[in-house]
Structure 1
Amino acid sequence: MIALEKTIAILLCAGLSRRFGDEDKLAASFDEKPLVAHAADMLASLPFQALIAVLPGGQGQTQLHAMLTARGFRIAENPRPSDGKDSSIRAGLQMALRYRPKAMLIALGDMPFVTSDHVARLSRAVTPVAAAMSFTSGRRSPPLIVPVGMAEAITSRGDVPVRDIVTAKCLVEVSASERELADLDTAQDFAAYRAGERDS
């Protein structure tokens, strides 16, 4: 176990959302507030050492930037979001390591159903040498918590995929019948989950 008070939460918000269309997916309305606000509000309700959101670089004070800083998030910029999720993870971890945490949680801005109880389970499962990773229907999923030593390895080995570094892990399972680990990628996902037609 590593306490949340010694953990920094990193919310990844730099994806290009190619499948969603021209609108900014994370700022799009879902259940009466912007999609990203669901994950941001859940994380902000917990006693993390600090909150970091990773946004695309060079965009200045966007609506998303203002929304997240108002909720207490520090902003890390990913100058090359087209390089994929690993580049955002590394940008967030590099900022987080400045604060000397014991662990870092990595969460996605397009997963609105993750609960504080699930984050607490991850916190209880992580150890100084093993990450805690969400798991459902035979697949691993964010959110996950990595100990500081693993975070340092991820940032120093930029040529190695993150998944190949996160080898020591404890899996925290979510029932396949629940939608907690669902991520919303398309306008059709928004409509289906808003209507309660899909589980996960």
Structure 2
Amino acid sequence: MPDVTAIILAAGLSRRMGERNKLLLPVSDILMIRHMIDTYSAATAGRVVVVTGHQATEVEAALAGSGVKTVFNANYAQGQRTSVACGLRAAGDADKVLIGLGGQLLLIAHDIRDLLAAYAAADTSRISIPAVDQQRGNPIVVPTNLRARLLADPRSPGCKKFTRAHPEHAQFHALASPGFNTDVDTPEAFAALKAGKLEEIT
């Protein structure tokens, strides 16, 4: 699906993980952020853009040789919405954009393809949001016709506020994978991941 650009948010302060940046923690024989890049690259032949911020130099070093584009969010300390806006501005002219998180380690390429298929079979002018047991998850699919709308409010750019304020522009897809709702962002979650028990605490 070369008309898809994936934006991976990797700029946050990782406060819930404590002193460590979760994206730089080892998962098997690679770092967490590299694992996520590999997952998205396997799901779509389109471009992958990584939004960096906190410890940008280290994150970019972890991505060396991956072929992804990185873009630095100078306002990363102001929250995730600024990283979403930064990524959308860097997305180019793709027909649709996937916006995902850097720590969803239960997510696999097949899950992402299922979401893209659900979007393609629905209203492609609306934002597609996965829902597992009626809980909204990530990544989401943003069509090109709504990207300017998401950037229109400089005080609160991004998707979360927009989709709640304008439900007519959003659609939910019931999907079964726990990967859509799981983000490894605490020491407890990381320990469960290493023990092979992450699904038990989601």
Contact 1:129–1:147, Cα closer than 8 Å, also in 2 = yes
The C-alpha deviation readout for 1:145-182, integer Å capped at 9, x for no partner, is: 11012122112222345223233223233337x45531
2:153 is the counterpart of 1:164: no
Under a length normalisation based on structure 2, what TM-score does the superposition of the two structures give? Answer: 0.85
1:152 is paired with a residue whose SS is: helix
Count, aligned residues: 192
Contact 1:14–1:56, Cα closer than 8 Å, also in 2 = yes
Range with bigger deviation, 156-165 or 181-190: 156-165
Q: How does 1:3-42 map to 2 (within 5 A)?
A: 4-42=1-39
Structure 2 equivalent of residue 133 of structure 1: 129
1:190 Cα deviation after fit = 0.6
2:143 is the counterpart of 1:150: no
* Structure 1 CA distance for aligned equivalents of residues 49 and 86 of structure 2: 10
Counterpart of 2:48 (choices 44, 48, 51) is 51
1:128 Cα deviation after fit = 3.3
- Kindly tell me: are residues 51 and 198 of structure 1, through their superposed partners in 2, closer, same or farther at Cα, counting changes over 3 Å? closer
- Kindly tell me: are residues 48 and 93 of structure 1, through their superposed partners in 2, closer, same or farther at Cα, counting changes over 3 Å? farther
Residue identity opposite 1:157 in structure 2: D
Contact 1:150–1:165, Cα closer than 8 Å, also in 2 = no
**Which 5+ residue runs of structure 1 have no aligned equivalent?**
none
* Structure 2 CA distance for aligned equivalents of residues 6 and 198 of structure 1: 33
Contact 2:43–2:110, Cα closer than 8 Å, also in 1 = no
Q: How does 1:51-70 map to 2 (within 5 A)?
A: 51-56=48-53, 62-70=57-65
Which of the pair is proportionally richer in helix?
2
2:175 is the counterpart of 1:174: yes
Residue identity opposite 2:175 in structure 1: V
2:195 is the counterpart of 1:198: no
Under a length normalisation based on structure 1, what TM-score does the superposition of the two structures give? Answer: 0.86
Contact 2:127–2:170, Cα closer than 8 Å, also in 1 = yes
Give % identity.
23
